[in-house]
Amino acid sequence: MKYKRILLKLSGESLMGEQDYGISPKMLSQYASEIKEAKDKGCEIAIVIGGGNIFRGLQGASKGMDRVQGDYMGMLATIINSMALQGELEKMGVRTELLSGLTIEPICKEQSRKRSKDAMREGKVVIIGGGTGNPYFTTDTASALRAIEIEADVILKGTRVDGVYTADPEKDPSATKYSELSFQEALSKQLKIMDLTAFALCQENNLPIYVFDMNKNGNLLKVIMGEHIGTIVK
């Protein structure tokens, strides 16, 4: 196994599937199955999910809403997604621990390095909602922060595209995929892999980011076992 302990970052939008809003039961089940498969191989897994399928603070701010209020609403959206994934995993017999940057008793305990590492040692999948618990920070930044805290080997950024391209492959058919990039190359080429705060955290802490297609069955397991199917930034 190439990656023994991972932080899996999923976007809220990916949970929509073909819907325009909310959570697709089909996508939820598919993701939970992929995570269970990786867990059954002995991989230690922590997960951070975005909330864009329900609410984004920046969207609210662009329409005149207070940015701080909007960001807290976005954090609550990530907890809804985290609870949905937790329920699906538990249904499949996977033990989980739901932690959060925002404490909401009795739903989730406050995230701490010790809690998340202890839960992983106990064989649980750790799901961390609530972003960083602070406004103005994205779930990209939350995933970088949590990955560093738990000493993950890598951040696996599950997307609907099979890596990082020279341009958007859904719009430009001539776009080509990068197999490997340095942090400096990704910055100089202005490739939007993660926001700058998250990227800087990963770079400073020598934490690689692996971008891959999470929507294809078996891909998560392939990545943790060392098959190169995406783009690695290190």
Q: Mean pLDDT for each consecutive 10-residue tract of the chain (234 residues)?
A: 98 93 97 98 98 87 90 96 98 98 92 97 97 96 98 96 91 94 94 93 98 96 98 97
* Beta carbons of 15 and 27 less than 8 angstroms apart: yes
Range 5-233 classified under CATH 3.40.1160.10 = yes
Q: What angle do CA 57, 161, 227 make, to 5 degrees?
A: 125
Can you give the pLDDT at residue 58? 79
**Closest-CA residue to 158 (of 21, 23, 35, 44):** 35
Residue written as token pair 């959206």: 77
